[in-house]
Amino acid sequence: MSKPGKGVVKAEPAPIELDFARTALVIIDMQRDFLEPGGFGETLGNDVSQLSRAVKPVAAVLAAARENGLLVIHTREGHLPDLSDAPPAKVERGAPSLRIGDPGPMGRILIRGEAGHDIVPALYPLKSEIVIDKPGKGAFYATELGAVLKQHGIENLVVCGVTTEVCVHTTIREGNDRGYRCVALADGCASYFPEFHDLGLKMIKAQGGIFGWVSDSASLLEALAAARMAS
């Protein structure tokens, strides 16, 4: 496959030029535990149907990233079966209907290897793609993500997934502090709380892009198609 090329992606607070050979598509936690009834998200009292709107845009950018040869990284939030990587402060938090590790309709809640921990079928990773298992909200904390990005010469992260203000935001903040240009795809992210989604995106692009850029799936697809035409 030829090199993925470069392109200018429409974004706020300003367009951003991306060298797609140095850009990773990072898809955060599109897991059944967050998107489907009976998982972690619902045990916390959330309306999980709020997250389904992100699936189609993410599927579109995932297909284009695969076609253009971008590095694709999927993440999954979850814990080891013995909960040794789950801080009691996380497990004991709040009053969920089921706690992390409890048996639920999709297996033990937020536990690696269980059905609920898996990625939704529409966005299932290819065998060749990288899947990062993370115990926290940010994808850099206690994972190999930093080393993987370094190994692939990545400078830019296009980030989508769920939820906007929790794991997407934490990952963008972590990435920004590590020197990556982070671009959130507005329609490729979703929250149980639409107002947090809107505010989360506003926070990223405010103050000249204090954490990064905000774009959308159509703008990324346009830039990838132009790069493909030019190559």
| Residue ranges that bind ligand C5J, judged by CB under 6 A | 29, 34, 77, 137, 162-163, 166-167
CA dist., res. 25 & res. 6, Å (int)? 14
Please say if 177 is a catalytic residue.
Answer: no
Q: Please identify which of the residues 33, 118, 134, 160 carries the catalytic annotation.
A: 134
Please say if 134 is a catalytic residue.
Answer: yes
CA dist., res. 148 & res. 82, Å (int)? 26
CA dist., res. 152 & res. 172, Å (int)? 19
- CB of 52 vs ligand C5J, minimal distance in Å: 15
- CB of 33 vs ligand C5J, minimal distance in Å: 9
- CB of 150 vs ligand C5J, minimal distance in Å: 24
169/181 with CB nearer ligand C5J: 169
Q: Please identify which of the residues 167, 187, 189, 205 carries the catalytic annotation.
A: 167
117/205 with CB nearer ligand C5J: 117
138/212 with CB nearer ligand C5J: 138
Reading the block at residue 138, the tokens are: 């940010």
Please say if 167 is a catalytic residue.
Answer: yes
- Do 198 and 66 contact (CB within 8 A), yes or no? no
Helix or strand (DSSP H, E) at 95? none
- CB of 70 vs ligand C5J, minimal distance in Å: 22
Residue 88, class by beta-carbon neighbours within 10 Å (0-12 exposed, 13-18 middle, 19+ buried)? exposed
**Which amino acid is it at 198?**
D
B/e letters for 157-171, b = 16+ CB within 10 Å, e = fewer, are bbbbbbbbbbbbbbb
- CB of 228 vs ligand C5J, minimal distance in Å: 31
77/118 with CB nearer ligand C5J: 77
Residue 208, class by beta-carbon neighbours within 10 Å (0-12 exposed, 13-18 middle, 19+ buried)? exposed
Catalytic residues: 29, 134, 167
